[in-house]
Structure 1
Amino acid sequence: MNEDIAWRLREAAEAHQPDRARILALVERGAAGPPVRHRTPSFARSWPKAALAGLATAGILATGGLAVAGIIRTPPPSDTATTAPSAPSPTATPTPTRSAPPTATAPAPTPATTTPASPHPSPSSGSRAQNGPLWSEGSIDSHSNVYWAQSNLALKTTQPLTSLTVELRIAQTGDVRDTGNWRTLPADDFTVTVQESGGVLVYRWMLKPGRTVPAGQHEFAGQYNHAAGVRSSANDSYRVDAQSAGGTASVWGGFAPTR
């Protein structure tokens, strides 16, 4: 329907030919027409009216032609399908890669260090290892080496002691010097002295008045440096003097070398 109307309008516009001669004749006729009755004829007043009427006629014709041409030339609106923009494809979010936690490696077990038992001292004619409630044993510590040594005394008592003096005597065999001492009983219970006299390094522990040594086994030790090499303990000795409810008792002896 729209195409048929457009075609007819286009054909009418192309067939239209403005009649210029007729338009001019109308203009001239208007200019030469008889004057209006009861009014004084005036060329100046008649001419503008005729001219304006002609111009108006020409304007109407021209405007109609332009309107027809605009209708013909304007293409009908096309039924263009509006396509909705496609939704953007979702961007894939990378999945974080989790590394496996490090496997805890258990440290290699440290082999336990076994301290060999102190060798039993060899009996000698100059020793008395047991007397009354006391029992004693002297030995060289197994950790001793060619530069350093430790002399141990194990003392056992079956009765509480109200008086106790312990002496370790280390012969001066060359560069023997004190490096320390210890005991298993409370330190505040003893007066400790270390001194060298007559070629012998003497460690002495004396129980303070009013203190008591309980029944049981106790240990005393003296530590010292010495000249490089294997040191002989043949001339070393210990002595213990004690007092208990049963009376006095004394033990003495030497230090068996490390085997």
Structure 2
Amino acid sequence: MRTPHDELRAGLREAAEAYEPDRARILARVERGMAAGPEEKHTRRRATRPPLLAWARVAGATAAVSGILAMGGYALASAVKSDETPADPTVSVSPLPTPSPDATSRAPIQPAPDPSGGNAQDEEPSSTPTPTPTPTPKASNTASAPAAKGTEDGPLWSDGSVDPHSNDFWAQSNVTIKSSEQLTSLTVELRIALTGGVTSAGAWRSAPEGDFELTVAERDDFLVYTWVLKEGHTVQPGEWVFAGQYDHTRGGRDAKDDTYAVTAEAAGQQLAVKGDFAGQDDNDESDEGDS
């Protein structure tokens, strides 16, 4: 593609090539100069000097204008060329952001074009309610145990009592069980009513410690101790004690609201027992009877 600068140069070149000097006029002037005397030559030289200076000025101005035109043409050609230069045919497209999975872990669905000409994105997509997953029930070794009816069930016997070593500031409640058969599962729960400033002070059991998992928590206005036999472990026939220790405000504490519950399995049979603890009135009556 020819730029304006190239066209200007081509025009000047064509004008220079088309120029033809007037030889007859040049020879006539030379002959007149040779025939004239010294004074006439000096006078003619002086007379012709101004036209030469004027011609030099005209030539200089023409050159300056030509230079300005050439520079302007070059600048214009450069601008036109930069405007007409095609961009890089390789188009860089930024990748779409990776959408975060929603609650149903489904990929987002692109809206379909609206046949009526509207914008489908303006319409709220219908959402299908996600069903709330049902939590998997935790396996329990007492899930199918029958409701306890008393302190004795088949080979399993139980009793609840406040340890005689308890004092005015501290107490210990004992759950004693006896079994004539081996137990393949066992859960003992001791519930101490949160009365008289009760706070947990520890727990122990006469069975091997490594065979049980112990949790202590406050629930429904009770301090609850729970011992659960670990899977794969057994409890041999015999008598076993599970004790919960707690602090309380000064003075004797009434244990009439405290309870316990035991579930177990022996020879494939589900067993359950429960009981409570003697209150102060019962203890007082027992002491008077003994006296």
TM value normalised by structure 1:
0.50
State which structure, 1 or 2, has the greater radius of gyration over its C-alpha atoms: 1
| Bigger helix fraction | 2
TM value normalised by structure 2:
0.45
